[in-house]
């Protein structure tokens, strides 16, 4: 079963954001067949990398309520209180921040961690520091959004560009209803995603843990 899961992950079909790269690789491959053998091998290597990087496997979110799911694949690099970015509008009180670092080898499709409604989207230009560093959360280029749950509580999700990443994709708009595990965007070529949670959540991960977007549980609602 583990081997089959690995095969499904490696050979998953590409996300549509990768189509321009794949088409470019195919054009280069065709030109190589006509004019230069070295270009054939270069194009083939690029195509294989693009297919791997933009792979978009199916994920099956847990059906039970009261969960916050990982918005991306990667390694948890931060799990501690932090002040949310000002553009989220979530006040200056510290919230629990869970940061996930995506290497160039991780699946880069981003997913919604909860069911709710997108109430705010704010893009901020910035630096392109190594996204595994905590200071990248404050200094790097990022796209921040707020999601309001059915009970009126809100949480923040921040897509953060990394050392190589130069393009953040988010394909929802303010007012859109979203479902946990739903694909909502992508960050190209190494990045980070932070989730800011209120005191009503109990964190279920720690730094060093590996998570899968749309299926791994980051937090559970506390029992009252």
Whether 42 and 141 map to the same domain: the answer is: no
Whether 173 and 78 map to the same domain: the answer is: yes
Task: Check residue 195 and give its pLDDT.
Answer: 97
Does 217 map to a domain? yes
pLDDT digits (tens, 9 = 90+) for 129-172: 888 888 888 888 899 999 999 999 999 999 998 877 667 889 99
Residue 1 has pLDDT above 60, yes or no: no
* Counted domains in the chain: 2
Q: State which residues form the domain around 29.
A: 2-53
Contact 190, 104 (CB under 8 A): yes
Whether 137 and 26 map to the same domain: the answer is: no
pLDDT band at 224 (very low <50, low <70, confident <90, very high): low
Mean pLDDT calculated for residue range 55-79: 93
- Token digits for 109? 């499709």
Does 187 map to a domain? yes
CATH of the domain at 144: 2.70.70
Q: Which residue has the tokens 């843990």?
A: 209
Does 62 map to a domain? no
DSSP result, 10-65:
HTPPBPGGGHHHHHHHHHHHHHHHHH-HHHHHHHHHHHHHHHHHTB--------SS
Strands 67-69 vs 217-221: parallel, antiparallel or unpaired: antiparallel
Task: Check residue 190 and give its pLDDT.
Answer: 66
Whether 73 and 47 map to the same domain: the answer is: no
pLDDT digits (tens, 9 = 90+) for 105-136: 899 899 999 999 999 999 998 888 888 888 88
Does 58 map to a domain? no
Residue 7 has pLDDT above 80, yes or no: no
Alpha-carbon distance 78 to 101, whole Å? 9
Does 205 map to a domain? yes
pTM of the entire predicted model = 0.88
Residue 223 has pLDDT above 90, yes or no: no
Identify the active-site residue in 79, 191, 215, 216: 191
Whether 127 and 188 map to the same domain: the answer is: yes
Evaluate the CA torsion angle 109, 114, 115, 117 in order and state its sign.
negative
Alpha-carbon distance 7 to 12, whole Å? 8
Whether 101 and 169 map to the same domain: the answer is: yes
Whether 91 and 34 map to the same domain: the answer is: no
Does 171 map to a domain? yes
% pLDDT > 90, the chain: 64
- Token digits for 213? 């977007």
Residue 100 has pLDDT above 60, yes or no: yes
Whether 46 and 74 map to the same domain: the answer is: no
Query: Known catalytic residue: 216?
Result: no
Whether 141 and 206 map to the same domain: the answer is: yes
Residue 2 has pLDDT above 60, yes or no: no
């Amino acid at each position: 079963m583990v081997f089959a899961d690995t095969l499904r992950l490696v050979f998953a079909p590409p996300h549509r954001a990768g189509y321009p790269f794949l088409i470019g690789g195919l054009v280069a491959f065709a030109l190589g067949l006509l004019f230069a053998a070295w270009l054939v091998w270069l194009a083939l290597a690029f195509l294989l990398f693009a297919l791997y990087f933009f792979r978009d496997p199916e994920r099956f979110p847990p059906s039970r309520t009261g969960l916050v799911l990982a918005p991306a694949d990667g390694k948890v690099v931060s799990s501690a209180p932090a002040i949310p970015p000002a553009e989220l509008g979530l006040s200056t009180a510290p919230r629990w921040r869970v940061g996930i670092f995506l290497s160039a080898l991780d699946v880069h499709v981003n997913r919604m961690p909860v069911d709710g409604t997108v109430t705010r989207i704010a893009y901020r230009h910035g630096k392109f520091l190594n996204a595994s560093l905590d200071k990248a959360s404050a200094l790097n280029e990022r796209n921040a959004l707020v999601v309001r749950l059915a009970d009126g509580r809100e949480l923040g999700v921040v897509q953060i560009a990394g050392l190589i990443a130069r393009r953040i994709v988010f394909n929802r708009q303010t007012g859109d209803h979203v479902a946990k595990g739903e694909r909502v965007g992508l960050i190209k070529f190494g990045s980070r995603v932070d989730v800011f949670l209120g005191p009503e959540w109990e964190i279920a991960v720690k730094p060093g843990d590996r998570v899968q977007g749309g299926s791994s549980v980051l937090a559970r609602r506390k029992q009252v």
